[in-house]
Amino acid sequence: MEKTLPRKQRENLQHREEILAVAVRLFSQSGFHTVSMQDIAKESEFAVGTLYNFFQSKEQLFIELMKTGVDKFRQFLIPILESDKEEADKLSEFIQAHLDLIENNLELVRLYMSQYGIQSSVKPMLKDISAGLEMLVAKKLERIITTGMQKHTFRCVPPDIVALSLRATLQAFVLESSENFDKTKARDGLSKIEEFFLTSLLKREAGC
| pLDDT tens track for 73-116 | 999 999 999 999 999 999 999 999 999 999 999 988 888 877 76
Going by the DSSP 8-state scheme, the letter that residue 36 receives in this structure is -
- Give me the pLDDT at residue 1, please: 38
For 16-20, 56-60, 110-114, which range has the lowest pLDDT when averaged over its residues? 110-114
On whether the CB atoms of residues 185 and 87 are closer than 8 A, the answer is no
- Give me the pLDDT at residue 119, please: 62
On whether the CB atoms of residues 79 and 34 are closer than 8 A, the answer is no
- Give me the pLDDT at residue 205, please: 55
Q: What is the mean pLDDT of residues 114-132?
A: 73
> Can you give the pTM of this predicted structure?
0.85
Dump the DSSP string for 141-187: HHHHHHHHHHTTSB-S--HHHHHHHHHHHHHHHHHHHHHT--HHHHH
